[in-house]
């Protein structure tokens, strides 16, 4: 069931339930009230009848007038006055056609009520001139049969009509609510791989939908970038692999063109070997990248002390760039060391951290590289900050593309595989790698890894 129908149903059910309770309450209160009212009418008639029949002539004349003038005759009204002094209640009950408990109740309390189907009985005990009388009045309750039935029908019809009204309101309401969502869905359908540049229109006055469309647009941006990456990868890779191959072929071609002496052959073979080694390094790096990519393979994870890891990475980097000034700042290390443990693969993590550190040293021409470590409640945060050449802002979306190298890296040797490799490793450890950079000012890399709890 879709959300729209759900809204219509639940809204209708909710309002219906409320109306049901409401009208039920009214119906039963009115019914109860009409019973009580009817019994009271019967009681008044019983009292007046008793007075008229049993009291002095003078009083009863006045009362008879009053009765004729003000007390209308009820449907099927029957008045019965009986002397009950010394008479068996059971015999009396049989004679009047009422149950024994009714008579007993009247005798006990002075008055009593009872109904048989639609005929209502009211009885009082009347004592005068030293005699005990039982006065019963019975009549049909016109109100219960007619008024209450009318009320019942009225409420049921009103209920049916309100179902229609509420359902149509809920329908309109949900339509109103979902129209923008529907619009977004239609727009999203239009966007496919052919027209990835299209973006959703951002609504101005709907906060939730605004953030939804913004998120969609953001996602589309990222999708577009990764699509481009995919497209570029093959051409980049073949170009990267082709360059050393062309140079090998060229070298061999030139050497084989005519007879050469041993020295020249040696030289040529040396060049070919150098190119072949470069090619092999590239393919190795590519293989590693493929291995660390998300392929669902479970790596062997162990507990790794992250401060130790950073020291190891620094030593590795110092061997390659002996002039690099790496400054490690452990000032914000936590007081308890158990939070420094990260569950991960030590070799891969070392590769990732030293890759970043190598980049920092390579692109900053022996300027100071700062490394800091901090541990929050959930993450180990490693910051590596250099004062090197930075990354141009418009090239930031492509830094994770394999073989991509920023436009200002011409003077530095590299393949463009380090950063994507590092990101793969960090993602494998459920961490986050963020790079902040300003051209010519430096780059800050932030690695967040989840703490082993």
62/332 with CB nearer other proteins: 332
**Which residue in the block uniquely carries the two structure tokens 């061999």?**
252
Region label for 342, one of left (φ > 0), alpha (ψ between -120 and 50) or beta (otherwise): beta
- Count of residues binding other proteins (CB under 8 A)? 25
Cα dihedral 58/62/64/68 (nearest 10): 160
- Note whether 85 binds other proteins by CB under 8 A: no
Question: Taking the complex as a whole, how short is the minimal distance between the CB of residue 336 and other proteins, in angstroms?
Answer: 6
Each residue 334-373 as x (binds other proteins by CB under 8 A) or -, in order, gives: xxx--x------------------------------x-xx
- The dihedrals phi and psi of 300, each to the nearest 5 degrees, come to -80, 120
Question: Taking the complex as a whole, how short is the minimal distance between the CB of residue 441 and other proteins, in angstroms?
Answer: 13
- Note whether 212 binds other proteins by CB under 8 A: no
* Element (DSSP H or E) covering residue 39: helix 3-54
List all residues 6 or more positions away from 398 whose beta carbon is below 8 Å from its beta carbon.
225, 228, 229, 404
37/329 with CB nearer other proteins: 329
- Note whether 396 binds other proteins by CB under 8 A: no
Among the residues of 55-125, which ranges form H helices? 57-70, 89-96, 100-109
65/393 with CB nearer other proteins: 393
Question: Taking the complex as a whole, how short is the minimal distance between the CB of residue 436 and other proteins, in angstroms?
Answer: 5
From candidates 198, 220, 383, 399, binder to other proteins by CB under 8 A: 383
| Contact stretch for other proteins (CB under 8 A) within 8-16, 50-58, 93-101, 443-451 | 443-451
From candidates 99, 180, 203, 374, binder to other proteins by CB under 8 A: 374
57/336 with CB nearer other proteins: 336
Within 13 A of 190's CA, how many CA atoms are on the CB side? 10
* DSSP per-residue string spanning 106-170: HHHHSEEEEEETTEEEEEEEEEETTEEEEEEEEEE-HIIIIIIHHHHHHHHHHHHHHHHHHHHHH
- Note whether 210 binds other proteins by CB under 8 A: no
| Pairing label, strands 119-128, 131-140 | antiparallel
- Note whether 307 binds other proteins by CB under 8 A: no
| Contact stretch for other proteins (CB under 8 A) within 81-89, 278-286, 307-315, 440-448 | 440-448
- Note whether 376 binds other proteins by CB under 8 A: yes
Binding to other proteins in span 138-197, by CB under 8 A: none
| Pairing label, strands 111-116, 119-128 | antiparallel
From candidates 35, 142, 415, 436, binder to other proteins by CB under 8 A: 436
Whether 340 contacts 322, CB under 8 Å: no
The residues binding other proteins (CB under 8 A) are 329, 331-336, 339, 370, 372-379, 381, 383, 385, 434, 436, 444, 446, 448
């Amino acid at each position: 069931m879709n959300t729209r129908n759900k809204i219509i149903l639940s809204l209708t059910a909710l309002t219906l339930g409320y109306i049901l309770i409401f009208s039920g309450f009214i119906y039963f209160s009115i019914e109860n009230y009409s019973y009580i009212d009817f019994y009271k009418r019967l009681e008044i008639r019983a009292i007046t009848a008793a007075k008229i029949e049993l009291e002095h002539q003078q009083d009863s004349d006045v009362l008879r007038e009053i009765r004729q003038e003000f007390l209308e005759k009820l449907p099927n009204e029957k008045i019965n006055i009986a002397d009950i002094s010394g008479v068996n209640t059971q015999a009396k009950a049989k004679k009047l056609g009422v149950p024994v408990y009714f008579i007993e109740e009247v005798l006990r309390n002075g008055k009593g009520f009872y109904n048989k189907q639609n005929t209502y009985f009211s009885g009082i005990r009347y004592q005068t001139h030293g005699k005990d009388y039982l006065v019963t009045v019975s009549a049909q309750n016109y109100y219960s049969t007619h008024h209450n039935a009318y009320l019942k029908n009225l409420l049921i019809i009103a209920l049916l009509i309100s179902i229609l009204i509420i359902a149509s309101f809920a329908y309109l309401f949900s339509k109103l609510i979902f129209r923008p969502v529907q619009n977004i869905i239609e727009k999203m359908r239009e966007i496919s791989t052919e027209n990835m540049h299209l973006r959703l229109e951002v609504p101005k006055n709907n906060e939730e939908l605004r953030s939804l469309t913004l998120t969609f647009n953001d996602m589309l941006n990222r999708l577009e970038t990764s699509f481009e990456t995919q497209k570029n990868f093959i051409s980049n890779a073949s170009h990267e692999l082709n360059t050393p191959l062309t140079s090998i072929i060229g070298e061999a071609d030139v050497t084989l063109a005519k007879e050469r002496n041993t020295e020249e052959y040696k030289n040529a073979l040396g060049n070919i070997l150098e190119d072949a080694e470069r090619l092999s390094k590239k393919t190795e790096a590519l293989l590693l990248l493929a291995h660390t990519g998300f392929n669902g393979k479970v790596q062997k994870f162990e507990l790794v002390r992250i401060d130790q890891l950073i020291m190891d990475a620094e030593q590795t980097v110092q061997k390659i760039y002996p002039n690099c000034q790496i400054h490690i700042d452990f000032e914000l290390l936590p007081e308890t060391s158990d939070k420094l443990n990260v569950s991960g693969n030590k070799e891969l993590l070392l590769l990732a951290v030293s890759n970043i550190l190598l980049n920092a040293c390579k692109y900053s021409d022996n300027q100071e590289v700062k490394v800091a470590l901090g541990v929050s409640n959930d993450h180990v945060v490693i910051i590596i900050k250099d004062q090197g050449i930075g990354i141009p802002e418009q090239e930031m979306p492509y830094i994770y593309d394999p073989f991509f190298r920023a436009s200002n890296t011409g003077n530095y040797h590299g393949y463009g595989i380090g950063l994507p490799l590092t990101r793969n490793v960090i993602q494998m450890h459920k961490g986050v790698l963020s790079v902040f950079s300003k051209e010519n000012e430096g780059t800050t890399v932030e690695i967040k890894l989840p703490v082993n709890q």
